[in-house]
Amino acid sequence: MKILSREQFYEADRRTLSAEGIPGEALMERAATRVFDWLHARLEGAPVPVFVFCGVGNNGGDGLVVARHLLDHGYTVDVFVVDYSQARSEDFLTNLKRLKGRKKWPEYLDQGSPLPEIPANGVIIDAIFGIGLNRPPDPWVADLIRHLNSSGAFVLSIDMPSGLYLHRVPEDPSAVVGADVLLTFMAPKLVFFLPQTGVFAERWEVLDIGQDPVYMEEAEAAYNLVGREMVRTFYRPRTKFSHKGTYGHALVLGGSHGKIGAVALAAKAALASGAGLVTACVPECGYVPLQAQLPEVMVLTTPGFSEHTELPDVGAAQVCGIGMGMGTGEPVQKAFLAWLEKMQTPVLLDADALNILSLHPADLHRIPGGSILTPHPGELKRLVGPWKDDFDKLEKALVFAGAHKCILVVKGAHTMVFAQGKGYVNTTGNPGMATAGSGDVLSGMITGLLAQGYEPLQAALLGVYLHGRAGDLGASRTGYEALTATEIISSISQAFLELSGPAGPDQKHTAGG
Ligand X SMILES: NC(=O)C1=CN([C@@H]2O[C@H](COP(=O)(O)OP(=O)(O)OC[C@H]3O[C@@H](n4cnc5c(N)ncnc54)[C@H](O)[C@@H]3O)[C@@H](O)[C@H]2O)[C@@H](O)CC1
Ligand Y SMILES: Nc1ncnc2c1ncn2[C@@H]1O[C@H](COP(=O)(O)OP(=O)(O)O)[C@@H](O)[C@H]1O
The answer to whether 338 contacts ligand Y (rule: CB under 6 A) is: no
Nearer to ligand Y, 293 or 430 (CB): 430
Nearer to ligand X, 170 or 437 (CB): 170
**What whole-number distance in Å separates Cα of residue 279 and Cα of residue 288?**
14
Query: Cβ(225)–Cβ(1) under 8 Å?
Result: yes
**Residue 440 labeled ligand binder:** yes
From ligand X, ligand Y, K ion, none, interface partner of 157 (C-beta below 5 to 8 A by class): K ion
**Residue 109 labeled ligand binder:** no
Closest CA to 461 of 234, 152, 278: 234
CB of 66 to ligand X, least distance (A): 11
**Residue 136 labeled ligand binder:** yes
User: 135 CB contacts (<8 Å, ≥6 apart)?
Assistant: none
Alpha helices in 222-316 (DSSP H): 228-231, 260-272, 287-293
Q: Which is it for strands 298-302 and 223-226: parallel, antiparallel or unpaired?
A: unpaired
Q: 3-state DSSP call for residue 462?
A: helix
**What whole-number distance in Å separates Cα of residue 222 and Cα of residue 418?**
10
The answer to whether 162 contacts K ion (rule: CB under 5 A) is: yes
**Residue 415 labeled ligand binder:** yes
From K ion, ligand Y, ligand X, none, interface partner of 413 (C-beta below 5 to 8 A by class): ligand Y
Closest CA to 394 of 10, 3, 9: 3
User: 73 CB contacts (<8 Å, ≥6 apart)?
Assistant: 40, 45
| Three-class HEC string of 48-74 | CEEEEEECCCHHHHHHHHHHHHHHHCC
CB of 11 to K ion, least distance (A): 21
Nearer to ligand X, 22 or 298 (CB): 22
Binding site for ligand X (CB under 6 A): 9-10, 12-13, 27-28, 31, 55, 57-62, 84-85, 89, 129-138, 158-160, 185
The answer to whether 323 contacts ligand Y (rule: CB under 6 A) is: no
From K ion, ligand X, ligand Y, none, interface partner of 162 (C-beta below 5 to 8 A by class): K ion
| DSSP letters spanning 18-52 | HHHT--HHHHHHHHHHHHHHHHHHHHTT---EEEE
| DSSP letters spanning 186-200 | SS--GGGGSHHHHTT
The answer to whether 183 contacts ligand Y (rule: CB under 6 A) is: no
**Residue 313 labeled ligand binder:** no
The answer to whether 157 contacts K ion (rule: CB under 5 A) is: yes
Site residues for ligand Y, 357-386, by CB under 6 A, read 376
CB of 474 to ligand Y, least distance (A): 12
**Residue 133 labeled ligand binder:** yes
Residue ranges in contact with ligand Y by CB under 6 A: 376, 411-413, 415, 429-431, 433-434, 436-440, 442, 467
Annotated binding site: 58-62, 126, 130-136, 159, 162, 262, 325, 376, 411-415, 439-440
